[in-house]
Amino acid sequence: MNGETLGDIVRSFSGDHNVLVTQSAILSVDHLQKQAEDLYRRSSVTSRSRIALCGLSPSDFITSLVAFDGRVDAMLFLPASLDDISKERLAASAGCTHYIDTENIVEVSRGLEECRSSEADATQWLLPTSGTTGRPKLIGHTLASLSCSVKRDTEKGRCFVWGLLYDPSCFAGIQVVLQALYSGSLLHVSESVDFESQIEGFVQNHVNALSATPSLWRKLLMDGRIKACRLRQITLGGEIADQHILDGLKRHFNGARIVHIYASTEAGTAFSVHDGRAGFPAIWIQNKSGPLPLSIRGDGHLLVKPPILSDGLEIVQRLDSDGYLDTEDMVRVEGDRVIFLGRASGAINVGGNKVAPEYIESHIRAVNGVVDVRVFGKKSSMIGQIVAAEIVPHPGLEVKRLRGEILHYCRVNMESWQTPGIVSFVHELKENSAGKRERLT
Amino acid sequence: MSEKLIMKEKIINIIIEIASESGWDILTNLNDDTVLLESGLDSLGFATLVARLEEELLYDPFSMMDEPVYPRTLGEFVKIYEQYAS
* Residues A215-250 pLDDT 10s: 899 889 988 999 999 999 999 998 889 898 999 999
Taking a C-beta distance cutoff of 8 angstroms, is the pair A71, A51 a contact? Answer: no
HSE-CB at A266 with a 13 A cutoff on CA atoms is 22
DSSP secondary structure letters along chain B: --HHHHHHHHHHHHHHHHHHHHT----SS--TT-BGGGTT--HHHHHHHHHHHHHHHS--HHHH-SS-----BHHHHHHHHHHT--
Residue A441 is predicted with a pLDDT of 53
**Which CATH number do you get for residue B76?**
1.10.1200.10
**Chain A residues close to B57, C-beta within 8 Å:** none
Q: Give the closest-approach CA distance of B1 to chain A in angstroms.
A: 28
Over residues A283-327, the pLDDT tens digits come to 999 777 788 899 999 999 999 987 766 666 667 778 888 888 898
pLDDT at A312: 62
Mutation pick from A244, A378, A409 vs chain B, by most beta carbons of B within 10 Å, is: A244
Q: Where are the domains of chain A?
A: 6-230, 350-425
Residues 6+ apart with CB under 8 A from A185: A157, A158, A159, A160, A161, A162, A179, A209
Distance from the Cα of B6 to chain A's closest Cα (Å) equals: 22
Chains A, B: CB contacts within 8 A come to 76
Chain B neighbors of A215, CB-CB under 8 A: 43, 47
Residue A2 phi, psi dihedral angles, 5° rounding: -100, 170
DSSP A438: P
Closest CA to A76 of A99, A53, A104, A56: A53
**Could you tell me if A285 and A295 are in contact, meaning their C-beta atoms sit under 8 angstroms apart?**
yes
Three-state DSSP state, A36: helix
CB B21 within 8 A of CB B28: no
* Alpha carbon distance A138, A129 (integer Å): 6
Q: Which residues pair with A422 in a beta bridge?
A: A388
- What is the distance between the alpha carbons of residues A160 and A162, in angstroms, rounded to a whole number? 6
Top-level class of domain A350-425? alpha beta
Instruction: Give the ipTM of the model, two decimals please.
Output: 0.91
Q: Is A2 helix (H, G, I), strand (E, B) or coil?
A: coil
CA nearest to B59 within chain A: A381
How far away is chain A from the Cα of B63, in angstroms, using its nearest Cα? Answer: 6
Contact: B70, A218; criterion CB under 8 Å: yes
Q: What is the DSSP letter of A255?
A: T
CATH number of A6-230: 3.40.50.12780
Beta-strand relationship, A422-425 and A209-212: unpaired
Chain A residues within an 8 Å CB radius of B47: 215, 351, 380, 382-383, 386, 421
Contact check, Cβ <8 Å, B70/A383: no
DSSP-derived letter for residue A110 is: S
Phi, psi (degrees; rounded to nearest 5) at A348: -95, 135
For B27-36, what is each residue's pLDDT tens digit? 888 999 999 9
Query: Which residues in chain A are closer than 8 Å to B76, comparing Cβ atoms?
Result: none
Contact between residue B60 and residue B19 where contact means Cβ atoms under 8 Å apart: no
Beta strands A384-393 and A105-107 are unpaired
Top residue of B62, B70, B72 to mutate, by most chain A CBs within 10 Å, is B70
Band of the pLDDT at A8, cuts 50, 70, 90? Answer: very high
Furthest-apart CA pair in chain A: how many Å? 74
Contact A272, A296 (CB under 8 A): no
- Are the CB atoms for A176 and A198 separated by under 8 Å? no
Inter-chain CB proximity A350 and B44 less than 8 Å: yes
What pLDDT does residue A115 have? 46
Query: What domain range includes position B18?
Result: 3-83
How do A280-281 and A294-296 pair as beta strands? unpaired
A94-98, A147-151, B4-8, B81-85: segment of lowest average pLDDT: B4-8
Total domain count, chain B:
1
Q: What pLDDT is recorded for position A436?
A: 53
User: B43, B69, B77: which to substitute to probe chain A, counting the most A Cβ within 10 Å?
Assistant: B43
